[in-house]
Chain A
């Protein structure tokens, strides 16, 4: 007889390791590539601000200690709120992003069911792996602030010490656990409420909504901190609706504040966490039922049979706008890949979510009537924010393959010269990345009138087309047919460039728009300048595609090549 003497605990440990690895290795981050590099980059990106920001705060506290010591408590409260917002936002975004990977799926069922492991052990391992993921996200986002912020407070003579470390640890961990398990609860309930097919189809939209909510928690923390101060002075009930403030209140309560407001906020935080944990425990039953159904049901196809309206629209587009077969081929392929590909849809909806969150910050600035920022400038910046985020999202998603092994189709059938194919791709990027901000025309018309708003949106369209050409200038591929290499772009090094680009793209055109509306020939000059830049970029791109640089269609590497281990 064979020897099956491996201890049960070792099997369990292996199972937990398997579940944790697959929870972290999202194919959104690392499709067909080195998983550890993608995860490593993301964790490094998350950990970076937590280490850098406390150092930046040293100067602030030294300055306040010497000039305005009375302002220190408000500053400390605002910074506590910031670190808790960061913890909640990072955990929320990470959990929403890893939505699919965090739980057991059909593949797990197919792999684990034939093995002699009880189902309850599989679920226990899955729960434990989820807790390990939470711990990892928590440590990445809060490891730096937990060690450094109390130190900064001590240097600035603003408190600190072991009490601050403990209170910060408990409050940020409680906040992270609240967000993490709330998202897992939503994830567990959805298939039971909507059915597995509908919930799978709607999942990217839920993910985008959760990313928006998490990003808003971070971006709106200054407003939340101010609201907390005003509440202490007898303001409205707004803070009771903001999770960041519950856990800020909890931290203050743990540090000894026993006034009614911190006590009430701490109570809300504890009740909310308890409610979420109960909800999560109940969804485990639903998750277990769903897991057992994987064996009975076939793979649920995620796809949408052509609707009448979509068919009409397609025919109309083909007749009017996409006149050549190759244009149609690339345009419809890209559109279907974006809207039916889970990874691609998630990336673009994530970018749209970021745009929405940044736009909400602008709107909050309008409502709070900050004297430094004019209302019209804030509103006019919103279409540009949307255009920038969408185009960056589309560009990133375009480098993620829809189905890499199926690319042989293009190699066999498509001509190598890319110009006619690229026309379809260009039109696709126009539809999904450049055109959408036009829906904000009524919003822009509010402060500057319809005529000026139309001119302004014309400028936004031209800028979008210029950004499209610039982003895709060296992209000699059909979108979604590339090999995805997460380590190829050094995000840690390039994010300042993105930030500078974003600032220029958003704020300079707003100033140009204001200037043009005040001068009779202003818009003519702006359109002439932007039109010339666009024509030049078009020509450069077309010249590139007509010349030596031809379209590349990536394929999955040959097994023999994969085995060579040429990399060090």
Chain B
């Protein structure tokens, strides 16, 4: 459903993402992994339309997005890495703003907001400004905002940060249900255990390049490693974690 072809992003002399080609098919959850600074968030921002690519194309339903951004964005739901919200608005006010910007009718919007706030346990806090919310509560507001208009493409950038265990479980089931409903989902995260459980396929990025793109089981079989964590470490880690830890303590004691 969504494709990036030879997608590149440069910041001056620094190339954050280098000619990557990925496909996010409908009906599946695609995991997107990479260490800090690998270009993960830059890719996600380009796919969400927040950042203009320096090169390459983004295709939606096989057609380049160049003149179809509005149509694409109308069918996109996005949860950013940081819960960046307007802190002086209440959750319903923020969600009303999102719904109105998407042109939703007032009655439908009010019903949906009310129902989703109840389902995600935010209804008792509906009169509080977002500045009083915890990180997890802000994350829930973002998740509701992304789902409000029933989008076909969903991009989640670290959506679980700050969520409590119950909300995490709900979210995992929600992703599976959305995938069954035919949505194309890109799930970017650092938490390998969750990605392993949720995603059928993973893309691993390192220093702006794709180093792996396959089913989780296929990657494990190919590299003869028992877990996704070991696969990830093998592909992108250049230092032994235990050695680094020992060196940190050495510096502390110096």
Which A residues fall within an 8 A CB radius of B?
A: 299, 301-303, 305-306, 318, 325-326, 328-329, 332-333, 336-337, 340-341, 402-403, 405-406, 408-416, 555, 558, 560-561, 564, 566
Contact = CB atoms under 8 A, between A and B. Distances in A.
A189 to B, nearest CB: 25
Contacts of B80: 408
A555 B49 CA distance: 12
A301 B128 contact: yes
B87 to A, nearest CB: 6
B123 to A, nearest CB: 14
Contacts of A303: 88-90, 128-129, 131-132
A402 B70 contact: no
19 contacts: A303-B90, A318-B106, A325-B102, A326-B101, A329-B97, A329-B101, A403-B84, A405-B82, A406-B85, A406-B86, A408-B80, A408-B84, A413-B73, A414-B101, A558-B11, A558-B42, A560-B14, A560-B16, A564-B11
Contacts of A328: 100, 106
B100 A403 contact: no
Contacts of A332: 93, 96-97, 100
Interface in B63-92: 69-70, 73, 76, 78, 80, 82, 84-90
B98 interface: yes
A411 B84 contact: no
Contacts of A329: 96-97, 100-101
B73 A412 contact: yes
A566 B99 CA distance: 39
Nearest to B88: A340
A309 B49 CA distance: 39
B103 interface: yes
B6 interface: no
B194 interface: no
Nearest to A405: B84
B contact residues, range: 35 or more
In order of increasing CB-CB distance, the 3 nearest A-B pairs are A303-B129, A329-B100, A340-B88
A299 B135 CA distance: 14
A445 B93 CA distance: 41
Contacts of A318: 106
B127 A306 contact: yes
B165 interface: no
B44 to A, nearest CB: 11
The A interface is mostly helix, strand or loop, or mixed, namely helix
Interface string B24-64: 00000000000000000010000011110000000000000
Given A299-B131, A412-B48, A326 B11 contact: no
Contacts of B16: 560
A205 B232 CA distance: 56
Contact of B98 (A306, A409, A411, A555): A409
Contact of A336 (B82, B93, B98, B106): B93
B105 A325 contact: yes
A235 B250 CA distance: 82
Contact of B88 (A337, A560, A561): A337
A385 B93 CA distance: 34
Nearest to A553: B50
B12 interface: yes
Contact of A301 (B14, B70, B129): B129
A326 B84 contact: no
Contacts of A305: 90, 127-128
A558 B88 CA distance: 24
A566 B51 CA distance: 20
Contact of A566 (B12, B89, B105): B12
Output the residue of A303, A326, A341, A561 with the most chain B CB within 10 A: A303
Nearest to B48: A412
B158 to A, nearest CB: 14
Contacts of B82: 405
Given A403-B87, A406-B86, A416 B69 contact: yes
A537 B42 CA distance: 41
B104 interface: yes
Contacts of B11: 558, 560-561, 564
A326 B90 contact: no
A302 B131 contact: yes
A412 B82 CA distance: 15
B165 to A, nearest CB: 23
A264 to B, nearest CB: 50
Contacts of A302: 88, 129, 131
Contacts of A405: 82, 84
A403 B86 contact: yes
A333 B102 CA distance: 14
A413 B85 contact: no
A328 B96 CA distance: 9
Nearest to A565: B12
Contact of A325 (B12, B73, B103, B145): B103
Nearest to B146: A412
Nearest to B87: A403
A325 to B, nearest CB: 4
B240 to A, nearest CB: 27
